[in-house]
Amino acid sequence: MPKPRKFKTLAFYLISSFLLSVSLYAQANEPLPIPLFFADKITAQDEAIFSIYQLADSEPEVARKMLSQISSASIEEKDNLKQALYYLTLFRLEGALGSTDMWQEDKYSGDHVARLDSLGERLDQAWMQGEAELERIIEFIEIGYYDEALRRVETVIEIAKQAEYWHLLARATKWRANLYVELSDYPKAMEDYRTALDIFTQQKDILQQARVLSNISTVYFRLEEWGQADKYSRRAFSLVEHSHFNNPSVKVMLHINAGIIAKSLDNKELESEHFRAAVKLSTEKGSRYSQIYALANLVTLLIQENQIDEAIVSAQRCLTLAEEVSDRAGLMYCNEAVAETYLKQKRFDEALALAEKVFAQFDAANNRIKAISMKAFIAKIHEDKSDYKEALVLYKEYANERNDYLFDERRKELFALQENYEAKYKENEIELLKYENALNSARLSQQKMLDKLWVSVLLIFCLVIYILFRRYISVSKTNFRLRRSNETLTSQSLEDPLTGLHNRRYLEQWLEKAAQNNQLEAYDLVVLVADVDHFKKVNDIYGHDVGDVVLTEVARRLNENARSDNDLLVRWGGEEFVLVLAVSPESDVELVLNRLRESISVTPIICANHELTVTISIGAFGKIKYGEIRKRWNEILSKSDEALYDAKLSGRNRVKLVADN
C-alpha cells in the first residue's frame, strides 16, 4: 500500500479528470445505491444486514452500533448471502476503525476471512472466495509481502471479471496499483488507478473515489511533482468533506498525504496541522497501521520544531506498534524516525548503523525513492559528525541517483500516458468508421431500390457522383486537418511550454541522430548544465509568476548567445538548462562559457517593477567528437553535473569546465 504515499501529453487525462470531478460532486448527497451485482441477490431477510454493510464504509461508528444489536450466532447458523454480507461488513469496519476498538469483549473474534472463503466454497460462489482472498492480500501488503500479494491479486481480478462483480474488480485493481507504486512501476499504477476510478465513478462510490484520488497524489509526490500531488489531494479531501462521510482511516490517509505535500511546499503551519490531525484521528479511532505512518511523519515534524523529548516518545511508540502487528514496511519508516532522533541527540554511531540498516531494507524492497532519500540522510549523519569527505561522496551519489530516478520515472509515465491517449484516439476512430460503414450500407440499400426505377438511373448516377465528390472533398479536408493536428501535437510534445525551448524528449531524438549528422564533423562538442542560482528564493520572495518570467528571460538570453545553428539548448527541468555547443577545435571554451554566464549576470531582469540581478552556475564537459556523444551520454551528463556541483560549492556564478581525457 502506498505509504503516506508536466507535460502537454498529460492534457488529455487531466481534462478528463477535471470533468470527472464535476460528476463526483454531483454524487455526494445521493442516497447509497444498491450495486447491480447485489440487486437480484438480496431478499427481504438480507435488507437489514445489507444496509449496515453499506454504512460500514461511510459511517462506520453508526454501522458498528447497529451490528452490535444483531446476534452473530443467528447469522452464522445458516449458509446464505446474509452470512457473507456479515463478514464483509466486519472487514469494512476493521478497515475503518481498526481491530483494537472494534472487537469489544471478543464479540467478533475469529478468522472471518477463512469462514467467508469456506462459505463461498460450500455455496459455489467464487465471488465470496474472491472477497476473502482480497482481505488476505491486504494483510500481505500491510506487512510488506508485496511479491506474494501481487501474485494473488491477479486471481481476484480474474474472479471479479468472470462474475461481473465490478466493485470487487475496481478494489482489486486499486490494490494492484498500490503494489505497483511500492515497486516503483508508476505507469502501470496510473493505468490501474484510472481503471479503478472509472468503475467507482460508475458505481457512485464516493469514498473509494477519494481513496484512489489520494493514491494518485502519492504517485506524483514520489515523482516530486508537488503541484499535481496537491491538486489530487485537494480533490480527495473535497469529496470526503462534501459527502460528510466519517471514515477515520480514510481521513488519516488524506491528512498524512496532505502533510507530506505541505512539507515539500514549505508550508510548515499546514504540515503541522495535517500530521497532528492524522495522529489524533488514528489514535482515537483509526487502525494501528494508519497510526504507525502518522507517527513516523510526526517525528520529523517534532524534530523540526525542536521538541526532541516528544519526538523520541513518538518514535518509540511508532516502533512498538509496528512490531505488534508485524508490519515490515512500517518498521522501516519507524526505524527511520528513531534514527532521526538519534541524530538529533548526536548519537552518531547509533544513528548511522540504524540508517544504513533501513537503507538496505528499502533497497531490498525495491523502494527506490526511499532508498535514495535514506542515502541523503546517511550523508547528513556523516556531515554532522564532521566526516566531510564521506558526506560529499554520498551527497553526490544521492544527487546523481535522484536525478536519474526522476528523469527515468517521469519519462516512463509520459510514454505510458501518451500510449493511453493514442489508444483512446484510435477507439474513437474505430467507432467513427463503424458509423460511416453503417451509413454507407444504408445508402447502398437505398441505391439498390432506386436502381429498379430505370427512368431515374441517370439522375441517381449524377446524384451519387455529386455526393461522392462532396464526400471526397470533406474527407480530404478532414485528413488535412488531422495531419496538421498531428504535426502540432508532435511539435508540442517536443517543446517546453513555458520557455519555448526544446525539452528532454527532443534531446533524446537529437542524440539518436547526432552520430549521422555530418555537419558536426568539423566541430568538437561541449555539453554544459546551467542552473539559476538561488532560484527558490526568487519564487519564495516574488512569487512563481516572477519566477516564470526569470526562467523565460534566462532561456531567451542563452538562446540568443548560442554560437551557431549547430548548438542545441533544452530546458532540463525546473531551473536547469542543458546546452550542447559545437565549437571549433581551436576555440577558447572557457571564454565561450563565461560569455554565456555574463549574458545573464551583467544585465538585471526587469519584472513586475522589480529589478532582479540573476546569476547562473555552469558545469561543462568537453571536448567530444560527435560520433561519441550518444554512447557516452550518461557519462558526459554525469561529469557536467559534477562540474556544476563544484561550481555551486565554489560560490555560484561560476564556470567549471572538465576536459575529456
Before 623, cis peptide (omega within 30)? Answer: yes
In whole angstroms, give the CA distance from residue 403 to residue 381. Answer: 22
Q: Which residues pair with 657 in a beta bridge?
A: 620
Higher pLDDT, 386 or 554: 554
Query: Please, what is the average pLDDT of the chain?
Result: 80
| Residue pair 629/514 in contact by the 8 Å Cβ criterion | yes
Please state, in angstroms and as integers, the Cα–Cα distance from residue 312 to each residue in 255, 297, 300, following that order: 22, 13, 10
- Give the helix/strand (H/E) hosting 305: none
pLDDT tens, position by position, 589-633: 999 999 999 999 999 999 878 899 999 999 999 888 888 888 899
Residue bearing cell 467467508: 116
At 402 the pLDDT is 74
pLDDT tens, position by position, 412-464: 554 454 455 345 445 544 544 554 565 456 556 666 776 666 766 777 878 88
In whole angstroms, give the CA distance from residue 554 to residue 557. Answer: 5
**pTM, full prediction:** 0.53
Which of 133, 138, 110 shows the shortest CA–CA distance to 120? Answer: 133
pLDDT tens, position by position, 147-167: 899 999 999 999 999 999 999
Which of 545, 564, 589, 576 shows the shortest CA–CA distance to 644? Answer: 576
| Residue pair 248/60 in contact by the 8 Å Cβ criterion | yes
Confidence of residue 569 (pLDDT cuts 50, 70, 90): very high
Residue bearing cell 524516525: 337
In whole angstroms, give the CA distance from residue 658 to residue 393. Answer: 18
Q: Which fold has domain 504-659?
A: Alpha-Beta Plaits (3.30.70)
| Residue pair 179/144 in contact by the 8 Å Cβ criterion | no
Q: Which residue ranges make up each domain of the chain?
A: 453-493, 504-659
Residue type at 221?
F
At 578 the pLDDT is 95
pLDDT tens, position by position, 505-517: 898 888 888 777 8
Residue bearing cell 487525462: 13
Confidence of residue 242 (pLDDT cuts 50, 70, 90): confident
- Give the helix/strand (H/E) hosting 586: none
pLDDT tens, position by position, 348-366: 888 888 888 888 888 887 7
What's the per-residue H, E or C state across 365-393? CCCHHHHHHHHHHHHHHHHHCCCHHHHHH
In whole angstroms, give the CA distance from residue 158 to residue 55. Answer: 27
pLDDT beyond 80 at 3: no
Say how many C-beta atoms besides its own lie within 10 A of residue 232's C-beta. Answer: 24
| Residue pair 246/276 in contact by the 8 Å Cβ criterion | no
